[in-house]
Amino acid sequence: MDITNINNQISFIKDSYREQGPRYKDTIYYGINEDGTVTMSTINPFALINAKYIVAFVNYNYTRVTAQDSSYLVLFAKEEIVDNKITIDGWTLSFDKPIFTINYTDNRRIIVQKDDLKVELVEQKWFVRDNFHMFWNFFDAARHCSTNGELELLKKLYDKDKTLAKLTIDNLKQQAKIEMLNETIEAHKGLLNKIEQLVDKFEN
């Protein structure tokens, strides 16, 4: 990674928002290794020179009416290009637009999508920044999904265990099939009940 080039691009993006009023503070970086693992956070991007991807959380303060609040930009570096999203194998990971005025920032929204497949997570803003590895793990698992049903099941599993420590892709797909079958059975039960009611009317 050409860290100097990446820093220059981050500075350019920061400048593009300055008219909206952010007062920038420090930047926290994560690296994504070749094996998909996430490094510990660092304020020194040069420590990530061997990373495959880099994620930067650019912290800032802003004024909302008369009160102060804080948030961050989320920027991704892939193949020497910095953007507010990252796309791998057609799957995109991005965040909701940062707030710079009026509204309070409590949560941040994480969006994972590919074509018609889409799932979103909403978490407290500092939890997201300080536990980015959890959301990268979610993104990595989501890229193995082929239906929105599988994505929704993945979200349920995340809600139960945010680390997804016990998740295997085979189990996810098998459980999604079971849930789909159960939904089909329930739908058929409803149809059978309606038929039985009609039969009862005719017989009476």
C-alpha span between 187 and 194 (Å, rounded): 11
Query: With 70 as the cut, is the pLDDT of residue 123 above it?
Result: yes
pLDDT in tens, 161-190: 877 766 666 666 666 566 665 565 566 566
pLDDT in tens, 17-68: 999 999 999 999 999 999 999 999 999 999 999 999 999 999 999 998 889 9
Give the number of other Cβ atoms within 10 Å of residue 116's Cβ: 7
C-alpha span between 39 and 31 (Å, rounded): 5
Q: What is the mean pLDDT of the chain?
A: 88
Question: In which band, very low, low, confident or very high, does the pLDDT at 82 lie, cut at 50, 70 and 90?
Answer: very high
What's 42's DSSP letter?
B
Please, are residues 120 and 109 in contact by the beta-carbon 8 Å criterion? yes
pLDDT of residue 159: 87
